[in-house]
Structure 1
Amino acid sequence: MFRHTPSNQKPRKRLGAAAVEMAMVLPLFMTVTFGSIEIGHALNVSQKLSAVVRDGGRLASKDVDPALLAGGITANQKVINDIKNMLKAEGYNTTNVIVTITYADGANVGQPFDISLSTNQYKLMRIRLTVPYSDVGIFPMKISSSALLDAELVTAKGRATMNL
């Protein structure tokens, strides 16, 4: 059996210890919480950007009759405008969005790709969408102010007809 011997010492007072411990742990806890929310949001935005580029790639890979394009815009402008409109529909600011359509292989890698040229049939094109993270982030943070989110797709210019 255990026998407790009474001590002559009075128990120490711990008034306010919980408040001090919380004051020390709370900033770290809040940083981790808000950081995980922001990372989750960034992953969600990244998935949406990929979906928008994929839809733009489907449009770009089809055979376009220039006579069907309204207002005299080029096929490249049509794809770029559609990608930006899809982003707008998702609720994002598109003023700083950059969409490029370039050759993905061959001697012209990185050069602008003209969708309407018949000589580009079956050639690979790269559609790249770049958005400043500050335009899509939840919390204004100076750390990520210069960060960019981007999505890209490489697809071939096909022969499927496009009905606008």
Structure 2
Amino acid sequence: MFKSADPGSAGTAHPPAARARRPARPGFFRDRSGLAAVEMALVLPVFLMIIFGIVEFGRALKTWNEVDHALGRAVRLINLDAKTTPQQIVTAMEAYLDDINTESLSVVATPTNISGTDYIKISVGFPFELILPFSSISTVNINVDRIAPILSATK
């Protein structure tokens, strides 16, 4: 048996491990009030960043689709008239794009020949403004490319 060093408790046995297991504040670790608030404070910022990222990706995809569709319509103009200039392509695309700031569109038309067939490669680039909070990235450049055969009435 263990003897206590305290002279007032002569003869009582207390193992040292029993005293070490007793917490200083008995209800502190069992109290669960506020646990949901702490969990939400840890998880909510990550969850919101994921949601905002999904929304931004959707906006960028919608913008890319609109520019791709406008570029397809511009390619139809080239198919109707093989002498269409890049400036006419830009003007046509600006007419098709309502929701996009067309002042910063850059259009490059490069004629190429693949296996004896004349093609034109049109590349359209534009900056996309992100509205993602707490992000160091504010602008992403989006590029849309299209290779189209040059059709003419004489061939």
Using the size of structure 1 for normalisation, the TM-score is 0.66
Match of 1:12 among 27, 30, 36: 30
> 2 CA distance for matches of 1:152 and 1:139?
26
For 1:130, the aligned partner's letter is: G
Q: Which structure's CA Rg is the greater one? A: 2
2:61, 2:86 → 1: CA distance?
Answer: 28
Flag the 1:160–1:38 CA change in 2: closer, same or farther, 3 A.
farther
TM norm structure 2: 0.69
Residue 41 of structure 1 corresponds to which residue in structure 2? 59
Higher relative contact order (CA 8 A, sep 6+): 1
Matching of residues 62-141 of structure 1 within 5 Å: 62-63=80-81, 75-87=85-97, 89=98, 91-105=99-113, 123-134=118-129, 137-139=130-132, 141=135
Offset, 1:160:
4.9
* CA RMSD between the two structures: 2.6
**Greater per-residue strand proportion:** 2
The counterpart of 1:157, out of the listed 128, 150, 155, is: 150
In structure 2, stretches of 5+ residues that fail to align are 1-25
**Is residue 63–residue 160 contact of structure 1 (8 Å, CA) maintained in 2?**
no
Identity %: 30
Runs of 4+ in 1 over 6 A off after TM superposition: none
- Segments of structure 1 that go 5 or more residues without pairing to the other structure are 1-8, 67-73, 107-121
